[in-house]
Structure 1
Amino acid sequence: MPSVKELNAVKQQVEERFLEQANVTGIDVGFKEVGGELTDQIAVRVHVVRKTDDVPDADRVPAELDGFVTDVVERMYVLQVASRPVGMTLEADTRHLSTLKGGISMGPSRDINGSIFAGTLGAIVVDDATQAKAALTNFHVAAVDDTFSIGDRMVQPSLIDTGVAPQGEFGALLRATLSSAVDGAVISIDPGKATSCEIDQIGPVRGTRKAKLGMAVRKRGRTTGLTHGAVDGVSGTIQVNYGDGLGVHTLTNQVSITADPARNAIFSDHGDSGSVIVDDEGFVVALLFAGAGSSTSANPIAAVLSELGISLCTSGPQASESGVPAAHGKSPVKDATDHKPFVKDKELLKEITKDKEVKEFTKDKEVKEFIKDKELSKDFVLDGKQLKDIVDVPVLERPPVGPPGPVGGHSSLEQRLSAVEARLAGLGSFIAPEQRPDLRGAAFSGASQQAADETSQLRAELERRVAEAVAAKTDFDTPQA
């Protein structure tokens, strides 16, 4: 079977010639259709408004191109934003949410030429320039046309879905792009507005991956809700009409999604524009913006993030595109329980435990077992309580391993966890119980016994460390502003 790379090279050689034809709407590399059903054969696919025999011989798509199979599919692409004249009822997702997250209704607070618009807030993101939280959607959802201005206010849910301005406004248009690869927009989020790094009905966003042929995917959109499908085309070049003022745009390197008919008849519809498309493990692969019947088209997520200057807000285990977790496949929890050092860096503890999402790390069962370690805590007593009864979060002693990345503040969770993992990776091995000196006497055989005042100093130092741990726990338990 030919590779996608080989077929893409052929597609690039002929796409300009085919796209000049009036009936052609796009061209990509994907699964060939036979009798309306997708096969597992990969072909160069030419997309047309309507299949017809009334085509001049010079314009016909040959059965093969340079020895590679071709296909012709009917696909007329339209933007999947919902709109209606002011005063007309057309509702879908009418929830007014106190916490913003992906997969929910949103739209501009203004009307455009007598109509109001609705789309989907795809995901919460982080502005690379300011590290502030923001919302991701499409250009044609937030800006709509060429009459937009940076600072245009947005409402959740959309005005179509019972949203009310200004009461329901959550932010303003920060930046937007309609390029040869991306139809995207970033919305600032007003101070005090709560956010969650998850997608409604899907769960936490874990990161990004590249879309691949046959990959199972899903999305949660304003109109059709949670739907399932699969990637059936990649490297697509498609033409979409953006209406008066913008006209027809050609977007390249697009991803094509087909619905899973066993679960849903269609993958998306009007109002689902702006949804992010996610694989089965919670990794985002694309940003939905257009549809053609039962087919959906989306921007590759890597291009979206790059052009808009943002990163996804993530939570949960992080992994690379290959699916292998960072730090040699070992989690911070596993590293911590492997080393079991006693904690004495109070500032590091405060830095790590400030972040609400990193708190989830400290709830891990393995970490709690670490704190219960009898050998670790039996000699540390304060007011009759052992360390395991006082401290319920692990704090890791950090040796100098070079400049660490940020842990708290506004950096992305992926960066913070990477920094934690880097610190953990630099830990040395701990002293096994049988090798530990009895500090009640001399540390080394043959040495003189410690004086009473030395023992008192040692006890005072141990109690001081426990007191610091108690103070750190108080900081941890105090809700963050």
Structure 2
Amino acid sequence: MDSLLRIVERAKWRILGRKNVVGVGVGYKEVGLRRTEQPSIIVFVSKKEAPENLSREELVPFKINGVETDVVEIGEVRLLDSERTKLVRPAQPGLSIGHYKVSAGTFGAVVKDRHTGEPLILSNNHILANATNGRDGRAAVGDPILQPGEYDGGTRQDRIATLVRFIPLQKGEAPATCPVANAFIRWANMVVQTIRPNYNLRIFKREGSSNVVDCAVARPVRADIITDEIYGVGKVQGKTIARPGMPVFKSGRTTGLTRGVVTAVGATMEVKLDNENTAYFSDQVVTDMKSQGGDSGSLVLTEGNRAVGLLFAGSDKVTIFNHIQTVLDKLEVDL
């Protein structure tokens, strides 16, 4: 790689001067959806254009000093400032939003109700409905939705919508209420504490089946207060099914525009809801795309701005999203 780095250092300014080129570096060439082990000079462009639309001086050469190039479209590169966390009208997907009791998440997309045709705001249950299971009083239809979210300074005066529909989130386990189980645990604790006085056993019961989505929709206070153009991305151009190896990207409140590759589908995951509760999610999609807290609710897309999922969870290494068609069918909405 050292020799390639020296080549790039010598050639970078004449490459950067070409149309749409926003960066140049060293990496491994991608062929189709597969990253190969062939070292190449990566030329980052804001937008790919057909060769016939470019002059000879604007074309990226196939090779530089005998090393193959790989042109990668990444859009416009900008500072990750606080624009996404500000009050914006009309508000657009990719910006901060949240239930009035929630810190902040991401406005995912504008969808249409299948029955009324009205535009609705799509995000996660845990962003628009406070992670409710529908029986716990954490949220109710009609609750105010703020843009920006409360963590980003949103107040009741910044109400942009009202909660209209959500899919309940089922926790993975709950304290046991069975009298027989509780009698057993009292006896077990007496035995254990004769040996380990500081230990206390508890029994939990598993609740319901796995979740398949974390989603909700809200009705904007008026139609012109939102736009369907995703911040830094543009309009959604249809949808498709996530497949292993598929390149994906999202526009989120916290980490902005990030990209990755689908690493697994059909996954069942245990997800931590808070310090005390977990939930199981089945038929999920796992990707190496970067995300952080506050990116939840982001629409996940692939080439051609086609929607593939709704981001809801992740770790330091992976990001997890629901299949978009499942989300739309559960909520009875369309893109």
Corresponding residue of 1:280: 303
Partner of 2:165: 175
Closer, same or farther: CA 153–286 of 1 in aligned 2, 3 Å? same
**CA 1:170 to 1:233, structure 2 compared with 1: closer, same or farther past 3 Å?**
same
Aligned to 2:284: 254
How far apart are 1:281 and its partner, in Å? 0.7
| Structure 2 unaligned spans of 5+ | 1-33, 37-81, 133-137, 171-210
Q: Among residues 210, 219, 225, which one is paired with 1:194 in the alignment?
A: 225
Alpha-carbon contact 2:95-2:231 (below 8 Å) kept: yes
Gaps of 5+ in 1: 1-37, 41-90, 260-266, 313-481
Q: Show the counterpart of 2:111.
A: 125
Mapped to 1, the partners of 2:223 and 2:296 lie a distance apart of 27
One-letter code of the match for 1:93? R
Deviations 1:200-219 (A, max 9, x none): 10111011100011111110
- Tell me the SS of whatever aligns to 2:86: coil
CA deviations over 1:215-254 (Å, ceiling 9, x no partner) = 1111000000111111111110001122479x32211110
Aligned residue for 1:144? 130
Q: Please, what TM-score do these two structures have when normalized by structure 1?
A: 0.42
Structure with the bigger percentage of helix: 1
Q: Kindly state the Cα deviation for residue 159 of structure 1 after the two structures are TM-superposed.
A: 1.5
Q: CA deviation at 1:101?
A: 2.0
Asked whether 1:184 is paired with 2:184, we answer no
* 2:273 alignment counterpart: 242
Shift of 1:94: 2.5
For the 8 Å contact 2:308–2:324, the answer to whether it is kept is: yes
1:108 Cα offset (Å): 1.7
Task: Assess, with a 3 A threshold, how the Cα gap between structure 1 residues 256 and 192 changes in structure 2: closer, same or farther.
Answer: closer
Q: Which amino acid aligns with 1:253?
A: D
Deviation of the 1:192 alpha carbon: 4.6
Q: Identity across aligned pairs (percent)?
A: 35
Other structure's SS at 2:216 match: strand
2:326 corresponds, among 272, 279, 303, to 303
1:226 aligned residue (228, 253, 257):
257
Report what 1:134 is aligned to. 120
1:14-58 deviation line (CA, Å, top 9, x unaligned): xxxxxxxxxxxxxxxxxxxxxxxx999xxxxxxxxxxxxxxxxxx
Are 1:232 and 1:256, in contact at CA under 8 Å, matched by a contact in 2? yes
Assess if the C-alpha contact under 8 Å between 2:96 and 2:105 holds in 1. yes
CA contact (8 A) 1:170 1:193 kept: no
| Bigger strand fraction | 2
Task: Please give the secondary structure, in 1, of the residue aligned with 2:97.
Answer: strand
Give the TM-score of the pair, scaled to structure 2: 0.60
Q: Which protein has the larger Cα radius of gyration, Structure 1 or Structure 2?
A: 1
| TM-superposed deviation, 1:193 | 3.3
Q: How many residues align?
A: 211
Write the deviation string for residues 335-376 of structure 1: whole angstroms up to 9, x where unpaired. xxxxxxxxxxxxxxxxxxxxxxxxxxxxxxxxxxxxxxxxxx
Q: Name the structure 2 match of 1:101.
A: 92
What displacement does 1:290 show?
Answer: 0.4
1:309–1:252 CA distance, 2 compared to 1 (3 A) = same
Q: Which has the higher contact order (CA 8 A, sep 6+)?
A: 2
Please say if residues 105 and 294 of structure 2, whose CA atoms lie closer than 8 Å, have aligned partners that are also in contact.
yes
Distance 1:188 1:98 in 2: 15
Counterpart for residue 158 of structure 1: 149
Change in Cα spacing, 1:244 to 1:228, as seen in structure 2 (3 Å) is: closer
**Deviating 4+ runs (over 4 angstroms):** none
